[in-house]
């Protein structure tokens, strides 16, 4: 998927925009173009934050692999931050 010029792996604007549109309660609600670009960025930060925090959790437990329980431990605080 698209990588921006900073070399970051990011979500496609269309994917995010279709996904968000699916969850709107009213049919007439639309997502503006710039808002869609920002939301792709928000989702990237959310996922990156989830992954980095899980990795740190695995590190603190001296585990070589990041597993689901590491993610579960960081999940409550992650959700509070977003």
How far, in Å, CA of 35 to CA of 31, rounded? 6
Per rule CB under 8 A, is residue 6 in the interface with other proteins? no
Is 62 a residue that touches other proteins (CB under 8 A)? no
Q: Give the residue, chosen from 6, 13, 31, 77, that forms a contact with other proteins under the rule CB under 8 A.
A: 31
Instruction: Out of 4, 5, 59, 77, name the contact with other proteins by CB under 8 A.
Output: 59
Specify whether the CB–CB gap between 70 and 57 falls below 8 A: yes
Tell me if 4 contacts other proteins by CB under 8 A.
no
36 vs 15: CA distance, rounded Å: 10
């Amino acid at each position: 998927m698209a990588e921006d010029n900073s070399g970051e792996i990011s979500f496609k604007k269309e994917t995010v925009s279709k996904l968000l549109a699916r969850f709107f309660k009213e049919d007439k609600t639309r997502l503006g173009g710039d808002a869609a670009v920002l939301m792709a960025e928000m989702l990237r930060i959310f996922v990156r934050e989830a992954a980095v925090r899980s990795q740190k959790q695995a590190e603190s437990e001296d585990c070589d692999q990041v597993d689901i329980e590491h993610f579960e431990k960081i999940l409550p605080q992650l959700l509070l931050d977003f």
